[in-house]
Amino acid sequence: MIDQIAGWMIQALMFFFAISGNWGLAIILLTVAVKVALYPLTLQSTKQMEAMQKLQPKIEALQKKLKDQPDKLQKETMELYKSEGVNPLGGCLPMLLQIPVFLALFFALTLPKFGFSEILKVAGQQAQFLWITNLAKPDPTYILVVLVALSTYWSSLTMPGAAKTQKSMLYFMPVFIAFISGSFPAGVQLYWVVQNLLTVAQQMYILRK
């Protein structure tokens, strides 16, 4: 399944490369296209997350009232969700859909069978983007890794309920994600940064609207 999506990623990158004439810009355009395609789900997800935040005082009251009756607590909590039209898992869907897209792009840029490295070898100037000389290899300057951390932190702050999130998690996750992304191809790191920045823009637009 992931291999098939990775094949689609390569085809999409070739399409956007034909438009932009640069593989870095092609990755950015692909990221924008994915974000636009997932926008309706992101909108619903944000609404569900906001609804969950507004419902939290009622849930906490139930937990306090029925702390010794777990079965009744579960039943009344589900009835509360139903009466308020809230899906407790509704905020996770866009995030879950991003995972196969990310993995597919990672495989498309790294696995020899997809041929992206060979494409870059003959692409010359078209394979370079800003300071990056090879999008199929990690950024040797670690600038993108730092941008991954900063953009992840920023996008976390724009999520509904971020103020109630433990500060340790707000700081830990960007550092952890930056650490694991250090060995990723620069093209994947670029995708991650642009995806985070678009998430910030979407969240600010949705919440303001």
User: How much of the chain exceeds pLDDT 70, in percent?
Assistant: 74
Query: Minimal CA–CA distance to 206: which of 17, 44, 23?
Result: 44
- pLDDT by residue (tens digit) across 75-122? 777 777 777 667 666 556 666 666 777 777 777 776 666 566 666 665
Q: Please give the DSSP secondary-structure letter assigned to residue 160.
A: T
Q: Is the pLDDT of residue 193 over 80?
A: yes
- pLDDT by residue (tens digit) across 108-121? 776 666 566 666 66
Element (H, E) at 80: helix 70-84
Three-state DSSP class for 159? coil
How much is the pTM?
0.71
Q: For the residues of 189-208, what is the DSSP string, one character each?
A: HHHHHHHHHHHHHHHHHHHH
